[in-house]
Chain A
Amino acid sequence: MTLLTVDGVSLEFPIYDADKSFRKALLRSAVGGVIHRNKAKHNRVSVTALDNVSINLKQGDRLGLIGANGAGKSTLLKVMAGVYVPDRGRVTAEGRLSCLFAGVPGIDEHDNAYRNINTICRFFGMSKEQIVEKVDSIEEFCELGDYMSMPLRTYSSGMMARLSFAIATSMDPEILLMDEGIGAGDARFAHKAKARIEDFLGKAQIVVLASHSSDLIREMCNQAVLMQTGRIIEFGPVEDILALHARLCQV
């Protein structure tokens, strides 16, 4: 049974390089979490990025995270992924978890594609046998031909996008966390990519997607939450939440 539970999670970001005038002027900002100054701890500045957030997800749930810039969507994804350990509350994930955040870890432009695939898959904790299995499917999908054995710095940005897309979608997660969609190069390739991503998403049993694109959320999710300054203010069907978000933005 695949489960993802976020239970009363709060997280404060310490800020170490806030300048003095900023520290003095501390204002409640319109975007982002609430900024504090902790008198007890040498006036340290911190941002409340998540404030008592709870979410329960089970098999088949596809959750869209909606909210303005700095509402805490990406932070919540990172807490779910275990990158950040919350100050309070806990996260329980049952099932193989994968994230599609900024790029892929361990990529190096001086190495060729094979070596990079190897390093990246190692980061994802794969064994040698599993990697060998993946390499063929990645190679076949991204159609880079002889460029596979060239250093990545010789790639065009489209080729780069194809490769990282192919690597990212070669995982088979039970829980998938995504920050915005993933681009995949030129138009012809985009078509091919669509099929792959549908297949990829179909295999995942729980998906959490943070996005500013209403279309993407509509297409991929079956429920949504609206976040504001680190709190969940509403939870429900995608259309209701999108409508609420649109209304709040206009005010």
Chain B
Amino acid sequence: MTASLKIALRDVIDGVLQWPLWGSLAWRDIRQRYTRTILGPFWLTLSTAIFLTFFSLVYSKLFNLDLHSYLPYLTAGFLPWILFSAVVSESCTVFTAEKQTIANWQFPYSVFVYKVVYRNTIVFLHNFLILLVVYLIYGPVPSWNMLWLPVSLALFCLNAFWICILLGTLCARFRDVQPLVASILQITMFMTPIFWRPEMLAKRTAFIDANIVYHAISIVRDPLLGKAPATVSLVFCLASAVIGTSVALVLYGRFRRRIPFWV
């Protein structure tokens, strides 16, 4: 097990040192997806904005919610959800999509994991524009608690990182995992309080309290709404980061040498 961990750590550390590479690969992806469009990567922001506008209008009518508090809540929770779900669904192809490179060159594969996490974080930061507009409409809520954001986001990304390594390795070997993950993601979106508040339930249930996605989204959402993140959520995310990273690294280190055959 220590041997596996060593291999994995080596790869992950060599990978992070290659930040100019994954940094430029991430930007290249973004540039290209919107090549020859006028808005460029801001299409991502615009489509999210359109979705949020119409969704909040319908939902607030449907459930008789006050848009004044619902729209900021929805926006602040939906943006980290996009980040999370994009990383998770892309993590399934993080290695298989780079077949040509992995099968022919020797280098740390974790470069691709950093690329996926980083690219989606860039998109997330682009989406802050929406949040700014929401703040402007519904009154600014400046608060010292917002300073939690970098801490929360780092914790969030750390969790995204291990999930990406773990799923990337599993999906390279077992091609059934990807459709399974897509299906689970879809359910998670509805089971997690993103479009609704936990208070709307008559009784709090385990699928909120034991839901890591809920805690991960909460620690980002709360500072965005000017609240300090709940201690229980922070602890939850920290624990999952530590345990998850260890498990993912041991597994990755154990099977890393197989990845060129699998992809």
Neighbour of B104 across the interface among A14, A105, A118, A119, CB < 8 A = A105
Q: Are B24 and A119 in contact (CB under 8 A)?
A: yes
- Once bound together, how far apart are the Cα atoms of A81 and B107, in whole Å? 10
Known contacts A13-B261, A128-B20, A119 near B25 by CB under 8 Å: yes
Which chain A residue has the least Cβ–Cβ distance from B22? A122
- Once bound together, how far apart are the Cα atoms of A107 and B8, in whole Å? 26
Q: Are B21 and A119 in contact (CB under 8 A)?
A: yes
Contacts of B223 in A (CB 8 A): none
CB A218 to nearest CB in B, in angstroms, measures 27
Known contacts A14-B261, A108-B28, A110-B32, A102 near B104 by CB under 8 Å: yes
- Once bound together, how far apart are the Cα atoms of A123 and B18, in whole Å? 9
Which A1-52 residues have C-beta < 8 A from chain B? 13-14, 16
Q: Are A83 and B106 in contact (CB under 8 A)?
A: yes
Kindly supply a per-residue 1/0 record for chain B positions 1-37, scoring 1 wherever the CB is within 8 Å of any chain A CB and 0 otherwise. Answer: 0000000000000000010110011001000100100
Known contacts A102-B104, A105-B101, A110-B32, A118 near B24 by CB under 8 Å: yes
Q: Give the total of A residues in contact with B, Cβ under 8 Å.
A: 25
Neighbour of A81 across the interface among B21, B101, B106, B261, CB < 8 A = B106
Q: Are B105 and A99 in contact (CB under 8 A)?
A: yes
Kindly supply a per-residue 1/0 record for chain B positions 68-109, scoring 1 wherever the CB is within 8 Å of any chain A CB and 0 otherwise. Answer: 000000000000000000000000000000001101111100
Q: Are A119 and B105 in contact (CB under 8 A)?
A: no
Which chain B residue has the least Cβ–Cβ distance from A179? B104
A-B interface contact total, Cβ < 8 Å: 54
Which chain A residue has the least Cβ–Cβ distance from B21? A122
Q: Are A106 and B101 in contact (CB under 8 A)?
A: yes
- Once bound together, how far apart are the Cα atoms of A236 and B85, in whole Å? 58
The yes or no answer to B229 lying at the interface (CB within 8 A) is: no
- Once bound together, how far apart are the Cα atoms of A13 and B106, in whole Å? 17
The yes or no answer to B236 lying at the interface (CB within 8 A) is: no
Which chain B residue has the least Cβ–Cβ distance from A121? B21
Known contacts A14-B261, A84-B257, A85-B257, A106 near B104 by CB under 8 Å: no
Which chain B residue has the least Cβ–Cβ distance from A87? B257
Contacts of A82 in B (CB 8 A): 106
The yes or no answer to B258 lying at the interface (CB within 8 A) is: yes
The yes or no answer to A235 lying at the interface (CB within 8 A) is: no
The yes or no answer to B148 lying at the interface (CB within 8 A) is: no
Q: Are B104 and A101 in contact (CB under 8 A)?
A: yes
Contacts of B107 in A (CB 8 A): 123, 125
The yes or no answer to A139 lying at the interface (CB within 8 A) is: no
Q: Are A16 and B104 in contact (CB under 8 A)?
A: no
Q: Are A123 and B35 in contact (CB under 8 A)?
A: no
Contacts of A128 in B (CB 8 A): 20
- Pick from A84, A102, A106 the residue with the most CB of B within 10 Å: A106
- Once bound together, how far apart are the Cα atoms of A128 and B107, in whole Å? 18
The yes or no answer to A234 lying at the interface (CB within 8 A) is: no
The yes or no answer to A111 lying at the interface (CB within 8 A) is: yes
Q: Are B105 and A83 in contact (CB under 8 A)?
A: yes
Contacts of B101 in A (CB 8 A): 105-106, 123
Which A91-108 residues have C-beta < 8 A from chain B? 99, 101-103, 105-106, 108
For the complex of A and B, 4 pairs with smallest distance between CB atoms: A82-B106, A85-B257, A122-B21, A105-B101
- Using A78-B104, A83-B103, A123-B107 as known contacts, list a sample of 8 further A-B pairs with CB atoms less than 8 Å apart, ordered by residue number in A: A14-B261, A84-B261, A85-B257, A110-B32, A111-B28, A115-B28, A122-B24, A128-B20
Pairs across A and B, CB under 8 Å, 18 listed: A78-B104, A82-B106, A83-B103, A84-B260, A99-B105, A102-B104, A105-B104, A105-B105, A106-B101, A108-B28, A108-B32, A111-B28, A119-B28, A122-B18, A122-B20, A122-B24, A123-B101, A125-B107
**Chain A residues close to B by CB (< 8 Å):** 13-14, 16, 78, 81-85, 99, 101-103, 105-106, 108, 110-111, 115, 118-119, 122-123, 125, 128
